[in-house]
Chains A and B, each alone.
Chain A
Amino acid sequence: MKRAKGTSNALRKTAPLMMLAAPGLLYFLINSYIPMFGVFIAFKDVNYAKGIFGSDWIGFDNFQFLFKTTDAWIMTRNTLLYNITFIAVGTLCSIFIAILMSELLSRWYSKLYLSGLVLPSLISMVVLSMLVYAFLNADSGFVNKSILAPLGLPEISWYAEAKYWPYLLVIVQMWKTAGYGSIVYFASIAGIDKSIYEAAKIDGAGKLRQIRTITLPLLKPTVIVLCLMSIGRIFNSDFGLFYQVPLNAGALYSTTQTIDTYVYRALMQLNDIGMSAAAGLYQSLVGFVLVLVVNAIVKRVNSDNALF
């Protein structure tokens, strides 16, 4: 009797909270957990007529086919190299901007600068692709008409030449994300005790020396943690950047194909569910392992910043 009352009391306490959590939990169950169990599709020869569950099991055939193609190598290489470049160049740009910004903190125009810096990160990839198109299109783009032509250089058909895109995509990504990325560093610098700088100044340290011996060393933990977290996502790419910004141009696939664009193209354009599912699972699994490894490292470096 007493025990029954205890459970009903506990139930009375937990049930209302569970009710509040229910819609959100249901959403995660459907949107995230059911697809997780759906990864078995990668081991099937999907045939809609037989249904997903009725389709034949084919073991690792999809993966064998996938890794026999050159696509597998190209998309893996592109995804990794772009991400490594983005992390390295992005970190440098963001820190550079943050140091300059913190110098101007008290100026009336610093708010305006900050708006200008975050704005590029807030527009959609579609609008971004149009900005890029205004600069690069072959017939009337700004670069061809207003830069190359006056200099007497030959016009370039940017959307047909793959060799330029590794540079173009890095520039586009930096334009979009460097300002936004600098906010975190900007906040860390703002948190540094001003008296350290004053002491250094009294000892005769100039600005550059202060940056080298105070700002940068104190930023180091933030830099390390943010870089490690980016490395955890190194197998993921921004679909829009690699699909829409190059306008899905076939001539550019060798330098713009990443795992995410391959998954989309295999599924929606080639109707090859098996290959797409295999590439997707390959990405998910490697990504998962990377996050675990990176988290273990972060925990060693600075346990406050570990994800779990």
Chain B
Amino acid sequence: MIQTRGERVFTLFSAIMMGLIALAAFLPFILIVISSVTKESSLINDGYSFFPKAFSMDAYIYLEASAYTFLRAYGVSFLVTIVGTAVGLLITSMLAYPMSRRDFKYHNLLAFAVFFTMLFSGGVVPSYIMWTQYFHIKDSLAALIVPNLLANGFNVLLVRNYFKSNVPLDLIESAQIDGATETKTFFRIMLPLSVPVLATVGLFMGLAYWNDWINALYFVSKPQFYGIQNLLVQLMNNIQYLNSGQAGNAVGAGAVDLPSSAVRMAMAVLGIVPILVVLPPLQKFLTRGVVIGAVKG
């Protein structure tokens, strides 16, 4: 259809307005990337700027040299993300499968048991006491993987709905007439037919693990179990400590170890890089998941 003048104006307005909005979304990222390659003296004198006077790669060189703290934390983050997502995806889909089977006696009971966890929660305190006093989970990798993040009702129901509406019961029945067990049906038929929803839920879980810092906030006090996020939290705490007026002692004691502002920004950049790497190929699964999830949880 030919555009009228008014429509052309509107399209132009949309393009410009959206350009500005997208720019506003991008600019803070650009600021930290530029800050991370700004010379420290320039950061201190002129502040964080999009057009710094002097550049330097010192921050990244420092991070490479301080392999023990930084690379270790990066490794912890990757390990936790990969293990957590793999195990979480497996138990989530294994639970979703019986729930999707209308011929299974307890499918509604299971669905309710999972759904109820989305409505009511016991809160932080009972959960904290259980994990620390009874499971003794403090200062371990399990503390980063198990509490709260391994499976949630929303993801289970998302997978259940996909199974239910995309894999016909006839297909399952005919496989079982041919002698396939439930386990075999699940792994050989359900999972291969459900790659899109597994990609969506896997992406949700992977992001949740990569970005999580709250489990470590509650359960970890030894820095060797810090992932990249908690290493950043620790650095930010040091800033607060220095600003809070108790700095007198701190400057003498810890100023030498305190990474510079550029290093902090470099770490934030490296914390985003893996997300930037997986986003382009997986974006369609993300948007699809958001739409399905919002319309029917």
Contacts and interface: CB of A to CB of B under 8 A. Distances in A.
Interface in B16-62: 17-19, 21-26, 28-29, 31-32, 35, 43-44, 46-50
Contacts of B85: none
B280 A115 contact: yes
User: Chain A at the B interface: mostly helix, strand, loop or mixed?
Assistant: helix
A207 to B, nearest CB: 4
Interface stretch (B148-156, B162-170, B192-200, B251-259): B148-156
Interface size class on chain A is: 35 or more
User: Of residues B1, B114, B123, B275, which shows the largest number of chain A Cβ atoms within 10 Å of its Cβ?
Assistant: B123
Nearest to B51: A146
Given A184-B294, A247-B240, A134 B150 contact: no
A52 B29 contact: no
Interface in B99-146: 99, 101, 104-106, 110, 113-115, 117, 119-130, 133, 146
A17 B31 CA distance: 52
Interface stretch (A27-35, A63-71, A77-85): A27-35
Interface string A91-133: 0000001001101100100011111111110111111011101
B223 interface: no
Contact of B122 (A37, A118, A122): A37
A20 B98 contact: yes
A244 B236 contact: yes
Nearest to B99: A21
B24 to A, nearest CB: 7
Contact of A124 (B11, B29, B210, B239): B210
Contacts of B92: 24
A304 B296 CA distance: 8
Given A28-B113, A124-B210, A135-B48, A112 B120 contact: no
Given A35-B126, A38-B129, A140-B261, A25 B22 contact: no
A250 B237 CA distance: 13
Nearest to B25: A116
A179 interface: yes
B22 A130 contact: no
A144 B15 CA distance: 31
B78 interface: no
B147 interface: yes
Contact of A24 (B104, B151, B290): B151
B247 to A, nearest CB: 13
B31 A31 contact: no
B94 A24 contact: yes
B49 A131 contact: no
Contact of A126 (B47, B115, B232, B243): B232
Interface string A133-168: 111011111101110000000000001000000000
A25 B110 contact: yes
Contact of A103 (B14, B21, B106, B211): B14
Contacts of B29: 119, 131
A209 to B, nearest CB: 10
B96 to A, nearest CB: 8
B84 to A, nearest CB: 12
A297 interface: no
B91 interface: yes
A32 B236 contact: no
Given A52-B129, A112-B22, A130 B236 contact: yes
Contacts of B115: 307-308
A179 B25 contact: yes
29 contacts: A20-B94, A20-B95, A24-B114, A25-B110, A28-B117, A32-B121, A34-B130, A35-B123, A38-B126, A39-B126, A115-B280, A117-B21, A120-B25, A124-B229, A124-B271, A126-B229, A127-B232, A134-B31, A135-B28, A135-B31, A139-B47, A184-B294, A187-B291, A240-B213, A244-B233, A263-B125, A267-B124, A277-B126, A305-B296
- Closest CB pairs A-B (n = 10): A38-B126, A145-B47, A24-B95, A35-B122, A280-B123, A124-B211, A16-B182, A140-B47, A116-B22, A35-B126
Interface of B: 1, 4, 6-7, 10-11, 14-15, 17-19, 21-26, 28-29, 31-32, 35, 43-44, 46-50, 90-92, 94-95, 97-99, 101, 104-106, 110, 113-115, 117, 119-130, 133, 146-148, 150-151, 153, 156, 181-183, 186, 207, 210-214, 217-218, 229-230, 232-233, 236-237, 239-240, 243-244, 261, 264-265, 268, 271-272, 275-276, 279-280, 283, 286-287, 290-291, 294-297
